[in-house]
Structure 1
């Protein structure tokens, strides 16, 4: 008997027992759909995290005070990262494009409509470029505002809605989102807020950015660096004007590693005269490093999810083996009759293996269709851009076929070894 005859006979046998064949495929269908959806969700999470970091710029470098060990200590040394360090980086590191020192402080913000606690960031105009933080209404403060210690602030997209609720009424449709850049019945631009008893004019509203690195930029207010030093925090370091972080953008993504190396050497030289362990006075992190860490984490989670879902494929394969063993018992007379009229052991073996492979491949195809449909639903109703490559689909179907082949061998061998005389006696 050739392969085509075996395929035809296997197809007719499975079609005759549609319900049993469908139930046998169910485990493979669920397993394939689970694997494809889990891999798709994992890839979508990876893309989403990457996009969130991309909006902040992959060429950004953060310099923060103290080492990791120093920050774990209960008693930490005074802040040695100062404004002069930022100026030195801007003037002496050739791979750096722009530098934006910042001071952060948690303050109560009072408007005529509400009082909220927010993160107040004092920085320079270059912050917009370094951190990719545009305004959607009004403007960011300029160098002239720095020179005259202007009492102006640019406000985050979420904070402005909290402080001026009357300008942002809830939409009738709950699915619609309130746009901070489209106030209704008035504009926050030109309004005053009070911080520590002093009034500040709102000159701009920031584009919505969301949370990143533990900070929600939309719940933040920005003011000129000189203003926050003169009116809010004062001079807190004996070494100069202490800064919370120095934001640096490299000239290109390829220059990030070189910029980190040059900045490290420069700061070690600047701090060495005061402290032999100069490297413990600062830590350098980059968006590139964070992106790689997030990519590794999401990749590991994707593998874990796929591995968990693959258990369903294993269970489906065991189900195929069980049903095929039952089928061998039920078809003893058929096997005996075929052997009596000349069918060889290999013919019986091939037919049962083909039946198992057909069940697993068909289940794989149905499961793939369901999995792709599930991914489309995830992409439509969540921010995840879920998707699976054709290679992943081919791999899933191939694994299904291999499982059918593997688990179909034992029943096929049992059927092939039946003694035709013993089988015919049961007629």
Structure 2
């Protein structure tokens, strides 16, 4: 008399079958292992890139606005920025916008810097004393540039810690030392504390000189526009005033530049940049997760293929079991359990491998790679579901075998 076998019995038989074919079972699980490991690692990589970008943007300051020459159209088309953002604009913003606390005009250029026999091509910035507070930089040794340094166009320079290490690694103090920028010598009066990189640019390897010195000796003054700026950094009186400051600055510059249609400048906040970066990195994370998911699907197809082969090889076993009373549901459950075991164990191994990969990424790269618990469990559930779904076809084929036909092959 036939009876339904219990889940426990089906689990025992499925486990015994898989253990007796260790190599085949291991190779079958390999696709799921690679798929899970890929999803976890790639998602961790994407989230690490997103976190890194957010951390770098937070260094800019929550209340800071950046005013740059050119509009979105010129940026998309790669047109060189116009020189219509001038020092007088920065002065007007400082004097006429009530929601602004400090204004820091800046001119940037790449120049060859020399010390003794070593030379480097680095970013030189002409700035004013307000730069230090607006951009949240701190002085480690010495002092920053003062108003008198700017007014007198002195040959002073403040350098980042990485630049100091490049030129004066073996010396206890670099204050008072001289470096050459272009054709002139500058005295180092200050060393900044580490600030880190922003969008791949190492701020700790930059040099800062008075804005007037930058104009007189490096960039010059445009006969049409005057002192052209690379950009203007503006600190609002508080975080809540950032939107109002952006609106007021835009109106003021439109009036000053006599703009009727499209702006010839752009005002960007940290929040704007953060939204752009978040959208890009989120898209990147989904893309990477999709690539990893393809590996999971391939792993599921591998399980289906191997189990179809297994059904062909185990025709006699299935025939004997049906001959002694096993039902179609019994055969179906056993093969589904085998597929589920393969995908679950493969998912666990793959997840562990992926988490190890994320940990290694965070150790050996600047990316703070991480994966949330939700992502980890979701990946494991998906891998188990894939094994179950792709195991249905072989299980149905096995359960529908005619015992008489199966026994003829004995």
The TM-score normalised by the length of structure 2 is 0.88
CA distance in 1, matches of 2:147, 2:162: 26
8 Å contact kept, 1:58–1:253: yes
Deviates more, 1:248-257 or 1:92-101: 248-257
CA distance in 2, matches of 1:328, 1:107: 72
CA distance in 2, matches of 1:82, 1:92: 16
- Tell me by how many angstroms 1:252 deviates: 4.3
Q: 1:386 to 1:70 in 2, by over 3 A?
A: closer
- Tell me by how many angstroms 1:303 deviates: 1.8
CA distance in 2, matches of 1:76, 1:31: 46
2:331 aligned to which of 343, 348, 372: 348
Pairing of 1:52-91 with structure 2 (within 5 A): 52-69=56-73, 79-91=83-95
8 Å contact kept, 2:53–2:199: no
1:246 and 2:237 equivalent?
Answer: no
Q: 1:86 to 1:37 in 2, by over 3 A?
A: same
Q: 1:138 to 1:80 in 2, by over 3 A?
A: same
Partner residue in 2 for 1:179: none
2:301 aligned to which of 294, 310, 318: 318
Q: 1:75 to 1:259 in 2, by over 3 A?
A: closer
Q: Residue by residue, what CA displacement relative to the aligned partner does 1:303-342 show, whole Å, maximum 9, x if unpaired?
A: 2222222222122111111121122122222222222222
1:11 aligned to which of 11, 15, 29: 15
Aligned partner of residue 235 in structure 2, secondary structure: strand
CA distance in 2, matches of 1:402, 1:316: 12
1:37 and 2:37 equivalent?
Answer: no
CA distance in 2, matches of 1:159, 1:360: 53
Partner residue in 2 for 1:281: 264
8 Å contact kept, 1:39–1:302: yes
CA distance in 1, matches of 2:116, 2:403: 95
Partner residue in 2 for 1:21: 25
Partner residue in 2 for 1:206: 192
Partner residue in 1 for 2:137: 133
Partner residue in 2 for 1:174: none
8 Å contact kept, 1:70–1:280: no
Aligned partner of residue 368 in structure 2, secondary structure: coil
Q: 1:346 to 1:296 in 2, by over 3 A?
A: same
Q: 1:369 to 1:193 in 2, by over 3 A?
A: closer
1:382 and 2:365 equivalent?
Answer: yes
- Tell me by how many angstroms 1:159 deviates: 3.6
Which segments of structure 1 move beyond 6 Å, counting only runs of 4 or more? 73-77
Q: Residue by residue, what CA displacement relative to the aligned partner does 1:339-389 show, whole Å, maximum 9, x if unpaired?
A: 222222112111111111111111101111111111111112222111111
8 Å contact kept, 1:357–1:404: yes
Aligned partner of residue 126 in structure 2, secondary structure: strand
Structure 2: state its 5+ residue gaps.
none
Partner residue in 2 for 1:181: none
Q: 1:233 to 1:309 in 2, by over 3 A?
A: closer
CA distance in 2, matches of 1:268, 1:88: 12
Deviates more, 1:196-205 or 1:121-130: 196-205
- Tell me by how many angstroms 1:80 deviates: 3.1
Q: 1:326 to 1:207 in 2, by over 3 A?
A: same
CA distance in 2, matches of 1:16, 1:66: 70
1:299 and 2:282 equivalent?
Answer: yes
Q: 1:73 to 1:288 in 2, by over 3 A?
A: closer
Aligned partner of residue 280 in structure 1, secondary structure: coil
CA distance in 2, matches of 1:258, 1:122: 28
Aligned partner of residue 284 in structure 1, secondary structure: strand
Q: 1:391 to 1:118 in 2, by over 3 A?
A: closer
- Tell me by how many angstroms 1:147 deviates: 4.1
Aligned partner of residue 19 in structure 1, secondary structure: helix
Aligned partner of residue 285 in structure 1, secondary structure: strand
CA distance in 2, matches of 1:125, 1:27: 60
- Tell me by how many angstroms 1:100 deviates: 0.4
Deviates more, 1:334-343 or 1:27-36: 334-343
Pairing of 1:111-260 with structure 2 (within 5 A): 111-162=115-166, 164=167, 167-168=168-169, 184-195=170-181, 198-212=184-198, 215-230=201-216, 232-238=218-224, 241-260=227-246
The TM-score normalised by the length of structure 1 is 0.85
Aligned partner of residue 124 in structure 2, secondary structure: strand
Aligned partner of residue 339 in structure 1, secondary structure: helix
Aligned partner of residue 136 in structure 1, secondary structure: strand
The total of aligned residue pairs comes to: 405
